[in-house]
Amino acid sequence: MNYYHISYSWLNLFPNKDMNGNLEPFESYYNRKKKCLSHIPEEVLIQWFHPLHNDSISLRNYAWISYEKEDIQFNLEEWSNEQIQRLNIISDGIDYYESLSSHNSFENLKKIVPFRNDDLNYWLKYGTWSVSPIILDCNSFPQKPNGVEIKGNYQLIEGHTRTGILNSFIKIKMNEGFTTLKETHKVWVMKNNSK
């Protein structure tokens, strides 16, 4: 059995479940939690805290952090392709990430990547993702519990599919002239204020 350091504020982020173990719908969760979690962007809640609150990777690496308003902040930043390519990827996600990053042909990528039509259309029209990935500023967390995998300057928390696809699109742009690909993309950066 795995034991994790879990902060009270992480427990406060948990969505309710019904008798069958199904998560409450996001709208219900957000309406119930938005007052106490007003400092956490809705986009972060919908893609990370709501669906992955009980995920072993999130529990092991991020549940120990205090998510109180005075302790944590999320900044929407514009990052270059090069900055995104330098992100640390945890060992549990590296194989998946590298497989998505390895394509240099658009036709090959379309066959393998789990695109929804609206996601693919957004990439083709705007040259970026429709939902910003979440990145951890590792340097703002100098003290970490044992067993936590946080290293490098910045670590990808959520968005392995999107950032892997971006890496392939960068290769495709070089090979096939994917002209709509942007040079910068919006990301959520999570920073510790309580040092």
Mean local confidence (pLDDT), 179-188: 93
Spatial CA neighbour of 74 closest among 16, 137, 21: 137
Query: DSSP 3-state helix, strand, coil percentages of the chain (rounded to 5)?
Result: 40, 15, 45
Helices (DSSP H) in 16-159: which residue ranges?
26-33, 42-44, 50-52, 56-62, 81-85, 94-101, 106-112, 117-126
Identity of the residue numbered 14? F
Task: Please report the pLDDT score of residue 1 as a whole number.
Answer: 44
Mean local confidence (pLDDT), 88-100: 93
User: E strands, 86-183, where?
Assistant: 134-137, 154-158
In angstroms, what CA-CA distances link 10 with 72, 104, 155?
Answer: 12, 40, 19
Task: Please report the pLDDT score of residue 3 as a whole number.
Answer: 64
Task: Please report the pLDDT score of residue 83 as a whole number.
Answer: 98
Cα separation of 83 and 192, whole Å?
Answer: 20
Spatial CA neighbour of 157 closest among 182, 130, 191: 191
Mean pLDDT of the chain: 91
Cα separation of 180 and 173, whole Å?
Answer: 9
Percentage of the chain beyond pLDDT 90 is 71
- pLDDT confidence tier of residue 192, bands split at 50, 70 and 90: very high
The lowest-confidence range among 13-22, 92-101, 118-127 is: 118-127
Cα separation of 22 and 187, whole Å?
Answer: 29
> Phi and psi of 100, rounded to 5°?
-75, -25
**What does the pLDDT look like over 52-76, one tens digit per residue?**
999 999 999 999 999 999 999 999 9
Cα separation of 94 and 91, whole Å?
Answer: 5
Q: Decide if pLDDT at 195 tops 70.
A: no
CB contact set of 142 (below 8 Å; sequence gap of 6+): 195
pTM, whole model, 2 decimals? 0.93
CB contact set of 35 (below 8 Å; sequence gap of 6+): none
The lowest-confidence range among 40-44, 108-112, 131-135 is: 108-112
The lowest-confidence range among 9-13, 67-71, 96-100, 172-176 is: 172-176
- pLDDT confidence tier of residue 2, bands split at 50, 70 and 90: low
Mean local confidence (pLDDT), 69-97: 96
